[in-house]
């Protein structure tokens, strides 16, 4: 069994200026822009259109199982302690791999052939880093070049600083911002435009900055909003800066201010004392049209909106803005008055499609609620009608409910987004289904993802049945040749959501995530408190009701209440608006395969629930995605598999073993005639590692 | 020449988590420590929450099955509690681990769970009793 080895990695920046042997460029000539066409991977999602597509074809169905580990890079010593949640997707440009890693979120450059460290940069941010709402190494970084030798790497630190580095040396560009740094907390406000404290103010980001022409665009994120102390939180924003100088070009207020369009969707002046509505995930851009697509997230307090009556634009909307000026061109709100935490999770995918003979420049947005929303990306016109339909109204005191929500008519939901009773219920045995129906008597369910939360109590109705999460931050991908969108999706509705008044004095929000009579649990963003300068302010002892009990969950004999498949890979044909295939993803989890009540049964591969947490890669012939969970099966020892699917049919055509679950989305590149796949793995006993595969020889 | 092997007593035993590897008293010491240091994320009943996984139940047991107690202990030692792993001592973490084993119905024994990774490496964590 391989043991993790704490290699001592040199921390000093290695100044190697003459890297001629890395790049094919001739000095003095303008270079071709880095592109997947060159076998590179210059952006988090392959390109700034969100496709995760590379046309490389060397690795295919015939040889996928022959892949070997070419090299591996541990991120253990890039911070004060190892990380167990490495989520980055590296970039590859000119023979060099660029990515982030470690509990301090260091930016690193590696030799893409061997994984050898070339340079590393990180900032000691002290208390500011320690209090950051979004810690650990994040999703990666970005690359810009002027095509004449000025090559830069840009990333955002945990303490929310935008850093520009010389891509060859890792040294900050002194002419960018102040000595290479733009302080992104400057200009951030809460309430009625009150500046946040630069040290303690709550804002950060995990996703990568968007490079568009000569601009760098940065979103914003706050803490997880389930149990927060106040609804008057930091206000989210999106800003564009000059990539050369760091000068601010435009700012977008996602919560409209008085006089701005949409301000009246915050009734009772609630725009003033509510916040969040950031853009925490990846943005995309159509440089020809000059439009940036912003996937906007949830307002403060994910599950209770009584302090912000109204539709709350532009929360949980897609907003298309002019690249040069930041002016809004069009928008569409997916959830009016958000109270389900359906925050936009991933890159809006730019797809040029042909529908009923008509060519459309489209944008397709995957979601947690398993809808793929498809629009003409120039005009904002839905490609297929999206209908406002009545949804159940809840009865939580003080809440404001939208009477309708938009429902796409096409394509159909690409995963289950509500628990269909009884057809979706567990059915390994008739007895289990009966038990499931019995459990459900204490929960409120509805045939829609927009099932409102209830004020649950351990002695009464426990909660509202939830949709599960279909797609999350890894997002989907797109094949520009066949016009197929590929999305990973959790397929497991059947959780429970209850809100309840929080402990005395904890919050000014009337209702937080929790169940009456049960012990209160703080919900933190993943990675909270792991920055090297963390203060221990993260965990606190909350006074809980004496004898606070656990509300029963929905599981049946320890098994999910919903029947398999628990997680899937879905393919949607965008020319037709139809689902092309859905296949289970991931081995049947060990606790299900080995469940005493299921022994002797022949249960087809169930897939894994955590599929909402893994991402994919699309190539000339394959869709590649790893398991979100470790299993031990007759076919492989304890580990997770990196799987290859025939992209036309969804048939699994290969799988190679990895020692830990996939925790970051895979990428691919070609270097000196060899194709590589690199994927981040971590979790359980296994610390963060970038694992590179290639064919033998 | 005398070769002194201070670990000779324990080298021969092939131990698993089913062999009575902690004491009830140790688990009792671990209980209040769990509530103080772990329960705010992992829940008083060990069932976890939005950001922290359950420390009981099928998914947890099978996630670690096949690894050693040293693997589990080292994960706790290096990264838990998440905001300040050094706040809780190695001995306290061994006691908390004993409490976790107790809550997962692993049998008690005569010897306390060691607080050293290299000792715990020799005990295999198994979901199913061999």
| Three-state DSSP string of A95-150 | CEEEEEECCCCEEEEEECCCCCEEEEECCCCCHHHHCCCCCCCCCCCEEEECCCCC
End-to-end CA distance of chain B, in Å? Answer: 41
Cα nearest neighbour of B84 on chain A: A536
Instruction: Classify the C-alpha dihedral A265-A267-A269-A275 as positive or negative.
Output: negative
CA distance A679 to A329: 37
Residue from B42, B123, B124 nearest B79 by CA: B42
- More confident of the two residues A495 and B31: B31
**A26, A112, A350 from A485: Cα distances, Å:** 38, 29, 10
User: Which residue of B39, B40, B65 is in closest CB contact with A590?
Assistant: B65
Quickly tell me which residue has 């197929």 as its tokens. Answer: A484
Q: Taking the model in full, what pTM does it have? A: 0.92
* pLDDT of the residue at A225: 72
* pLDDT of the residue at A525: 59
B 9-38 → A contacts, CB under 8 A: 36-37
Quickly tell me which residue has 């050693």 as its tokens. Answer: B68
Name residue A693's beta-bridge partners.
Answer: A69, A677
CA distance A192 to A235: 10
CA distance A346 to A136: 19
Residue from A140, A46, A36 nearest A476 by CA: A46
The answer, for B129 touching chain A at a CB cutoff of 8 Å, is no
Q: Mean pLDDT across the stretch B4-12? A: 43
Cβ distance B66 to A638 less than 8 Å, yes or no, reads yes
The residues of chain A scoring below 50 in pLDDT are 1-29, 538-546
Residue from A357, A366, A391, A362 nearest A378 by CA: A362
CA distance A494 to A465: 5
Q: Mean pLDDT across the stretch B91-108? A: 97
Residue from A419, A575, A579 nearest A490 by CA: A419
CA distance A536 to A447: 43
User: Which residue of A530, A591, A631 is in closest CB contact with B82?
Assistant: A530
Residue from A417, A460, A433, A421 nearest A559 by CA: A433
Q: Give chain A positions within 8 Å (CB) of B74.
A: 685
Cβ distance A530 to B45 less than 8 Å, yes or no, reads no
* pLDDT of the residue at A28: 44
Cβ distance B50 to A226 less than 8 Å, yes or no, reads yes
Phi, psi of A572 (to 5 degrees): -120, 125
Cβ distance A590 to B81 less than 8 Å, yes or no, reads no
User: Which residue of B58, B78, B82 is in closest CB contact with A529?
Assistant: B82
User: Which residue of B44, B59, B85 is in closest CB contact with A548?
Assistant: B44
CB-defined contacts A:B, below 8 A: 106
Q: Give chain A positions within 8 Å (CB) of B83.
A: 528-530, 534-539
Strands of A168-233 (E only): list them: 181-183, 189-190, 194-195, 210-212, 215-218
CB–CB of B30/B97 below 8 Å?
A: yes
User: Which residue of A523, A591, A632 is in closest CB contact with B50?
Assistant: A523
Cβ distance A523 to B51 less than 8 Å, yes or no, reads yes
Cα nearest neighbour of B58 on chain A: A591
The answer, for A462 touching chain B at a CB cutoff of 8 Å, is no
Q: Mean pLDDT across the stretch B101-121? A: 96
User: What is the per-residue DSSP string for A165-177?
Assistant: EETTT--B-TTTT
User: Which residue of B51, B63, B84 is in closest CB contact with A534?
Assistant: B84
Cα nearest neighbour of A85 on chain B: B79
The answer, for B118 touching chain A at a CB cutoff of 8 Å, is no
Residue from A107, A101, A138 nearest A123 by CA: A107
Instruction: Classify the C-alpha dihedral A596-A563-A475-A531 as positive or negative.
Output: negative
Chain B interface mutation, best of A84, A343, A521, highest count of B Cβ atoms under 10 Å: A521
Q: Please, which residues have CB within 8 angstroms of residue A74's CB and are 6 or more apart in sequence?
A: A4, A5, A7, A82, A687, A688, A689
DSSP state of A66: G
Cβ distance A525 to B51 less than 8 Å, yes or no, reads yes
pLDDT in tens, B38-58: 998 898 889 887 778 999 999
Cβ distance A589 to B62 less than 8 Å, yes or no, reads yes
User: Which residue of A538, A541, A592 is in closest CB contact with B83?
Assistant: A538
Chain B interface mutation, best of A129, A341, A539, A540, highest count of B Cβ atoms under 10 Å: A539
How many DSSP H helices and E strands does chain A contain?
3, 41
CA distance A405 to A388: 5
Distance from CA of A446 to the nearest CA of B (A): 23
CB–CB of A674/A58 below 8 Å?
A: yes
ipTM of the complex: 0.89
Pairing of strands A496-500, A454-455: parallel
Overall size of chain A counted in residues: 697
């Amino acid at each position: 069994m391989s043991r993790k080895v704490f290699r001592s990695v040199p921390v000093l920046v290695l100044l190697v200026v003459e890297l001629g042997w890395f790049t094919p460029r001739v000095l003095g000539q303008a270079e071709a822009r880095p592109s997947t066409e060159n076998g590179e991977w210059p952006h988090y999602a392959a390109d700034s259109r969100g496709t995760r597509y590379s046309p490389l074809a060397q690795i295919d169905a015939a040889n996928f199982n022959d892949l070997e580990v070419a090299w591996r890079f541990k991120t253990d010593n890039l911070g004060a302690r190892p990380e167990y949640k490495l989520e980055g997707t590296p970039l590859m440009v000119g023979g060099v791999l660029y990515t982030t890693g470690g509990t301090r979120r260091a930016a690193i450059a590696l030799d893409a052939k061997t994984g050898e460290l070339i340079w590393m940069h990180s900032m000691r941010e002290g208390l500011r880093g320690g209090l950051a709402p979004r810690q650990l190494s994040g999703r990666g970084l970005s690359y810009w070049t002027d095509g004449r030798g000025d090559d830069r790497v840009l990333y955002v630190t945990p303490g929310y600083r935008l850093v520009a580095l010389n891509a060859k040396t890792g040294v900050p560009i002194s002419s960018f911002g102040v000595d290479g740094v733009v302080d992104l907390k400057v200009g951030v406000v809460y309430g009625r435009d009150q500046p946040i404290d630069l040290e303690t103010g709550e804002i950060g980001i995990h996703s990568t900055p968007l490079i568009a022409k000569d601009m760098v665009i940065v979103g914003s994120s706050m803490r997880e909003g389930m149990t927060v102390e106040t609804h008057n939180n930091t206000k989210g924003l999106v800003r564009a800066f000059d990539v050369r100088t760091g000068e601010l070009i435009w700012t977008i207020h996602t919560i409209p201010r008085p006089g701005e369009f949409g301000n009246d969707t915050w009734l009772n002046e609630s725009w003033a004392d509510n916040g969040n509505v950031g853009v925490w995930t990846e943005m995309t851009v159509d440089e020809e049209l000059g439009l940036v697509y912003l996937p906007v997230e949830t307002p403060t307090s994910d599950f209770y909106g009584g302090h912000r009556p109204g539709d709350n634009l532009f929360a949980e909307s897609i907003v298309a803005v002019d690249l040069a000026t930041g002016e809004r061109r069009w928008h569409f709100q997916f959830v009016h008055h958000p109270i389900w935490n359906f925050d936009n999770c991933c890159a809006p995918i730019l797809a040029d499609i042909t529908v009923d003979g008509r060519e459309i420049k489209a944008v397709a947005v995957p979601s947690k609620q398993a809808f793929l929303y498809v629009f003409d990306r120039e005009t904002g016109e839905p490609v297929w009608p999206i209908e406002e339909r009545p949804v159940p109204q809840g009865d939580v005191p003080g809440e404001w409910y939208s009477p309708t929500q938009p429902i796409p008519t096409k394509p159909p939901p690409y995963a289950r987004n509500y628990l269909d009773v009884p057809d979706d219920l567990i059915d390994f045995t008739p007895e289990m289904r009966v038990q499931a129906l019995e459990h459900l008597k204490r929960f409120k369910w509805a045939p829609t993802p927009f099932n409102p939360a209830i004020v649950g109590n351990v002695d009464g109705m426990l909660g509202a049945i939830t949709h599960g999460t279909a797609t999350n931050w890894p997002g989907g991908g797109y094949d520009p040749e066949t016009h197929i969108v590929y999305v990973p999706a959790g397929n497991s509705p059947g959780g429970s959501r209850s809100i309840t008044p929080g402990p005395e004095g904890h919050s000014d929000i009337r209702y937080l995530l929790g169940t009456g009579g049960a012990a209160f649990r703080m919900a933190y963003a993943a990675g909270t408190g792991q920055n090297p300068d963390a203060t221990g302010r993260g965990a606190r002892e909350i006074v809980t009701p004496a004898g606070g009990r656990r509300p029963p969950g929905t599981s049946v004999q320890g098994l999910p209440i919903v029947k398999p498949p628990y997680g899937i890979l879905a393919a949607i044909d965008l020319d037709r608006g139809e689902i092309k295939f859905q296949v289970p993803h991931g081995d049947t989890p060990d606790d299900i395969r080995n469940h005493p009540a299921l022994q002797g049964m022949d249960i087809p591969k169930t897939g894994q629930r955590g599929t909402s947490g893994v991402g994919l890669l699309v190539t000339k012939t394959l869709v590649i995605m790893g398991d979100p969970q470790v299993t031990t099966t007759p076919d492989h020892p304890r580990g997770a598999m990196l799987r290859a699917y025939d992209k036309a049919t969804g048939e699994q055509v290969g799988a190679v073993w990895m020692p830990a679950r996939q925790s970051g989305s895979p990428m691919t590149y070609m270097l000196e005639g060899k194709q590589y796949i690199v994927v981040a793995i971590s979790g359980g006993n296994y610390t963060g590692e970038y694992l590179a595969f290639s064919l033998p020889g | 020449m005398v070769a002194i092997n201070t670990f000779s007593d324990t080298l021969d035993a092939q131990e698993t988590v089913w062999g009575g590897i902690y004491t009830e008293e140790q688990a009792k010491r671990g209980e209040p420590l769990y509530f103080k240091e772990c329960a705010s994320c992992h829940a008083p009943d060990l069932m976890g929450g939005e950001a922290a996984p359950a420390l009981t139940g099928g998914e947890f047991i099978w996630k670690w099955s096949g690894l050693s107690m040293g693997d589990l202990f080292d994960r706790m030692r290096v990264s838990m509690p998440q905001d300040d792993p050094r706040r809780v001592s190695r001995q306290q973490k061994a006691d908390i681990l004993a409490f976790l084993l107790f809550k997962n119905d692993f049998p008690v024994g005569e010897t306390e769970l060691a607080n050293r990774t290299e000792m715990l490496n020799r005990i295999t964590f198994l979901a199913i009793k061999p």
